[in-house]
Structure 1
């Protein structure tokens, strides 16, 4: 194997793009470079590593076992490189500027954070915000994001974490749905209604099932693992479903049901890596998110 000590990051970046896109042309479009350049990068990396990384097929390039085994390391390198670039661009004084990357769930990102981001950008117009909407707990230690809004308490010791409080989850339905089908007076009557819920059991769902033993996947007439899709169905009057209580109460078309019987707290935390505590862009964003979420939870 050739020495790998001086391999250009551009070769790795092209390799990862081919892994993700499945072809040289797709990788070239994603990177904004020419297809021959991507091909030369892959060939150079194969020579430097002494490995065959791809085999050709009718459907494109197929990653070899060796190539697939490198994907996790390359993704970590890409995250670190992006984090380094964001941090470097933010320096040059104490002004809040540069790019900050925030990770949060779909509902928080779409329904809760936009007003906070608007105020943040008005205060700091040189700040650029990247909003990553995912329910996956992104690894702040690998710098996949600068700041994360999480619904579980962080356990990594290198993270700064601020507990926002519990976002209550409750049952809601649109008023006209209840006019057509009636409102349940106790949880046992939910079985006679069109229920909106999940399709795949995840840790949050397991906690929900423990608190509400009658809740099971098979009980739902409408299933989706996308929380925004569930919320859209709820707002359309499709049935009864779970919703964040502060979100449901601000919609006059929705009515909360069985509040004493169905109330599930969902812990909310704002977190970032401790190495970013001195970054003006991250500190300002962290504080703004905390302020906005505290107002949301407090109603």
Structure 2
């Protein structure tokens, strides 16, 4: 941005930045309008006016990509996000503990954990806290807290750098699964050596977003793979067709009676989920409450996560 940007920023009000932030996060004027409770033409107009005040282009706009932040937009995002955090923190402090939770939280998660575990848990959390809304980003790639793609993230690996607060959320296990029908039609598996006679479903190795996902190659060298996908949910549904075996998280596979674990005491992988948040957000009430709730739900479901139970448990939000 130009040198006089700081002077221009001082002339802005919070309402200007609210419009900018919602468009930056949703990348669509229509989606931002829905969140703000206004018409999408109002959002587009306010963005144009903000760009005129600052004398820069904040978004590249296209039909396919929507509103994509420019380099100047990325720099403003950092300032606007800081202002939003300060405003909300002050609001929470003055509102006092007598008021219920409110506000919006965006949670990033691995795909399988988000869809099979977090979604039912968060549905109960939002039902109990009607003034809160949550975006659950269950995707087969990393969610970046530094780029403000989410307020909180559940990841396979611990954050190595950056201004984050983090904790180990839980351990979980993966085992090798096939359907009952599969084992009726294929050679029995009595030892690890017998697995050489079977086909497997695995990740696309060069597109795996974390080396933590490549457990088949490390656990069963030279395994014969006949189907690869970047999605663990695709692995799950492909396994249910009864044509091959796959490593699946126990919390996904154990509740389905059609799936049977293979050599569960010998072929097992233990991994961890990490919960993290940007440091400046951690003390916001809505972040703290959701953080504590997620830790409580993980604790209550140790048996499910470790493949010792097929029952999901719930805690009071």
Query: Which of the five TM-score ranges fits, normalised by the shorter chain?
Result: 0.7 to 0.9
Shift of 1:12: 11
**Contact between 2:29 and 2:40, CA under 8 Å: does it hold in 1?**
yes
TM superposition shift of 1:96: 3.9
Pairwise CA distance, 1:273: 3.2
Which SS does the other structure have where 1:228 is aligned? helix
Residue equivalent to 2:254 = 249
Displacement after TM superposition at 1:126 (Å)? 2.7
Distance of aligned partners of 1:156 and 1:55 in 2 relative to their CA distance in 1, 3 Å threshold: closer
Query: Which residue of structure 2 lines up, in the alignment, with residue 211 of structure 1?
Result: 218
Distance 1:245 1:186, change over 3 A: same
More deviation, 174-183/283-292: 174-183
Find the aligned partners of 1:40 and 1:164 in 2 and give their Cα distance: 41
CA distance in 1, matches of 2:227, 2:214: 20
Greater Cα offset, 28-37 or 250-259: 28-37
Matches within 5 A, 1:45-124: 45=51, 49=55, 69-70=71-72, 72-73=74-75, 92-94=95-97, 95-99=99-103, 100-124=105-129
CA RMSD of the aligned region, Å? 4.2
Q: Write the distance in 2 (CA, Å) between the matches of 1:28 and 1:68.
A: 16
Gaps of 5+ in 2: 34-38, 305-317
Quote the Cα distance in structure 1 between the aligned partners of 2:60 and 2:148: 28
The residue aligned with 2:310 is: none
3-state SS, counterpart of residue 233 of structure 2: helix
Q: Relative to structure 1, is the Cα distance of residues 83 and 196 closer, same or farther in structure 2, using a 3 angstrom cutoff?
A: farther
What pairs with 1:262-281 in structure 2 (closer than 5 Å)? 262-281=267-286
1:75–1:184 CA distance, 2 compared to 1 (3 A): farther
Distance 1:136 1:47, change over 3 A: same
Q: Given the two structures, how large is their TM-score scaled by the length of structure 2?
A: 0.70
Residues 128-153 of structure 1: per-residue CA shift (max 9 Å, x gap)? 22212224433435543222222212
- Equivalences for 1:90-239 in 2 at 5 Å? 92-94=95-97, 95-99=99-103, 100-141=105-146, 143-156=148-161, 158-199=163-204, 200-205=207-212, 208=215, 211-212=218-219, 214=221, 219-239=224-244
CA spacing shift, 1:271–1:215, aligned 2, 3 Å: farther
Q: Is the 8 A contact 1:148 1:270 kept in 2?
A: yes
Gaps of 5+ in 1: 22-26
Check the 8 A contact 1:172/1:255 in 2, yes or no.
yes
Cα deviations by residue, 1:78-100 (Å, 9 ceiling, x for unpaired)? 76677668667766232342232
Cα distance in 2 for partners of 1:50, 1:253 equals 58
* Per-residue Cα deviation, 1:51-102 (whole angstroms, up to 9, x for no partner): 898799xx999x9xxx855565466567667766866776623234223222
TM-score, normalised via structure 1 length: 0.73
